[in-house]
């Protein structure tokens, strides 16, 4: 008896059943076997600001072939594909720094701050976390001169002027922070140099998955 396939793919009708089976069979579980050489693949997820295309399917297929081949060779092989790391792409621009190196230090300190990442994930315009990240960077700047902006495709908003919060709209800030990618701009008013750093937010799933790799 033939069955006509639906013209539109409905992931809810298929993927949940398959995922439950994978979990039941412990396909994502790996044991440490010291009698075997380990082999792992760390897969970079598709860019969170990009569109899926055939290249992603080809890349995943090649990795699947490699991991199966290594397992057949006797390796303790592990490959966990997925996009667990983030939901919002972030960009931090530090402008008008005293020199290029100071701008780089400040931008990297902001974009790698776990507190800043968590605030971005929560769509929270918590400018104190940005100033805090700048403060422990050891870079040369005066916090009482700093202006901070957030911008995305939803608009641009100034939340700090000369180290003090502006009378900005929380609703407008949340709207801007809800659109990926989000750009945070820190104007330190110390010179003419600038630098940009890129990163992402910090999600519940990222913490959960990375805390449970060996269980």
The whole-model pTM stands at 0.65
Instruction: Report which of 156, 153, 85, 83 is spatially closest to residue 117, judged by C-alpha positions.
Output: 85
CATH fold of 89-201 reads Ubiquitin-like (UB roll) (3.10.20)
Instruction: Give CA–CA dist 123/171, Å, rounded.
Output: 10
**Rounded Cα–Cα distance for residues 100 and 141 (Å):** 13
Predicted local confidence at residue 58, as pLDDT = 85
How far is the CA of 124 from the CAs of 93, 117, 173, 206, in angstroms?
18, 10, 8, 19
What are the domain boundaries of the chain? 11-83, 89-201
Q: Please tell me which residue, 180 or 73, carries the higher pLDDT value.
A: 73
* CA 146/CA 133 separation, integer angstroms: 13
Greater confidence (199 vs 162) lies with 162
Alpha carbons 178 and 88: distance in angstroms, whole number: 8
Q: Which helix (H) or strand (E) holds 158?
A: strand 155-161
Encode pLDDT of 5-47 as tens digits: 777 777 777 888 888 888 888 777 767 788 888 888 776 555 5
Cis ω before 107 (30° cut-off from 0): no
């Amino acid at each position: 008896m033939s069955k006509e396939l639906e013209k539109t793919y409905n992931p809810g009708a298929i993927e949940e059943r398959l995922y439950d089976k994978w979990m039941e069979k412990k396909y994502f579980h790996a044991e440490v076997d010291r009698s075997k050489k380990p082999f792992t693949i760390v897969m970079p997820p598709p860019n969170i600001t990009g569109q899926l295309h055939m290249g992603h399917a080809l890349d995943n297929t090649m990795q699947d072939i490699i991991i199966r081949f290594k397992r057949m060779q006797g390796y303790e092989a592990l490959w966990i594909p997925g996009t667990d790391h983030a939901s919002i792409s972030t960009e931090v621009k530090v402008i008008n720094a005293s020199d290029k190196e100071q701008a780089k230090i400040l931008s990297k300190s902001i974009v790698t701050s776990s507190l800043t990442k968590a605030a971005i994930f929560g769509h929270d315009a918590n400018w104190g976390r940005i100033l805090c990240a700048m403060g422990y960077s050891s870079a040369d700047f005066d916090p009482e001169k700093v202006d901070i902006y957030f911008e995305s495709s939803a608009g641009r908003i100034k939340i700090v002027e000369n180290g003090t919060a502006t009378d900005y709209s929380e609703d407008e800030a949340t709207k801007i922070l809800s659109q990926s990618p989000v750009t945070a701009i820190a104007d330190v008013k110390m010179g003419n140099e600038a630098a940009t750093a890129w990163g992402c937010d910090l999600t519940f799933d990222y913490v959960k998955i990375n805390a449970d790799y060996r269980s």
